[in-house]
Structure 1
């Protein structure tokens, strides 16, 4: 019985087929102990972070004390980082920002450089104002 070599490149990994892996692997919460802009972040960490971490067991959470504005930084599987400043925000606003970073993929947002075009014609054909009856046309 001959042995065949394993061919590489056959299997294409698709996230969501079979199992889903969040692109966000780690969230870092940075705040200052004394700063007035970190009041909401301190409240969020003491009251809501434990619940948020239990809801997301696949994400690592890190809390750091550092002088300056409070930040939430998302670290992603593709090696990218995204930071959002949460200065002077309430805990409920910080929850939405943390969920935004959790659900993000880490890719940069880029504008499409080329217009969208199609190979196929439209199902109704090409429209022109001259396809209407003369009595219904707009007259200038």
Structure 2
């Protein structure tokens, strides 16, 4: 058992019922930016509000954005979700770009607390073979080819057919034999 699992709850994946069937419903209902108008640790939040907030709100009409100026307090982002979840995050001494990334991250979350997800399946002896991909058993020399290649339309390990072997033995071209 890892040290992290002692403090993080575990559970199964919970998804909003049929979200995405018909139309997608963003789970973030509203976000509140609390910041100070004068302190320096709110500078990134004020720059985000001045330069990026209008464009962000136009791109995300399903999420309501509230601004709450407070005197002599650290900047905070509060996100409220449709499932009743509420998350609080400090934006203290962050740049404008970092604030934008955190606001975008909390906009895309579902509002469930961070947890270690359980699987419905369990194996005492997990596979050691690794993952299979369509490129697993392909020859490595194909990495250096320039495409399009006509020779790739046929399998590389193809043995000559019986009719090709006979035509080579008797010296008769294959086109003449097929016209008979």
TM-score by length of 2: 0.56
Partner SS state of residue 53, structure 1: helix
Could you list the runs of 5+ residues in structure 2 that have no partner in the other structure?
A: 1-15, 130-180
Describe the shift of the 1:114–1:102 C-alpha distance in structure 2 as closer, same or farther (beyond 3 A).
closer
Could you list the runs of 5+ residues in structure 1 that have no partner in the other structure?
A: 1-11, 125-140
Q: CA deviation at 1:103?
A: 0.4
**Superposed CA RMSD:** 2.4
- In our comparison, the structure showing a higher alpha carbon Rg is 2
1:65 paired with 2:69, answer: yes
Describe the shift of the 1:113–1:62 C-alpha distance in structure 2 as closer, same or farther (beyond 3 A).
same
Matches within 5 A, 1:9-20: 13-20=17-24
Q: CA deviation at 1:82?
A: 0.8
**Corresponding residue for residue 95 of structure 1:** 100
Q: CA deviation at 1:111?
A: 2.2
Between Structure 1 and Structure 2, how many residues are aligned?
A: 110
Partner SS state of residue 97, structure 2: helix
Structure with greater helix share of residues: 2
Partner SS state of residue 116, structure 2: coil
Structure 2: distance between partners of 1:79 and 1:64: 21
Structure 1: distance between partners of 2:97 and 2:65: 18
**Corresponding residue for residue 38 of structure 1:** 42
TM-score by length of 1: 0.71
**Corresponding residue for residue 81 of structure 2:** 76
* Alignment partner of 1:110 out of 115, 122, 127: 115
Write out per-residue CA displacement over residues 32-76 of structure 1, whole angstroms, 9 at most, x where no aligned residue: 011110011111111110000000011111000113110111110
After TM superposition, the runs of 4+ consecutive aligned structure 1 residues lying more than 6 A away are: none
Q: CA deviation at 1:13?
A: 3.9
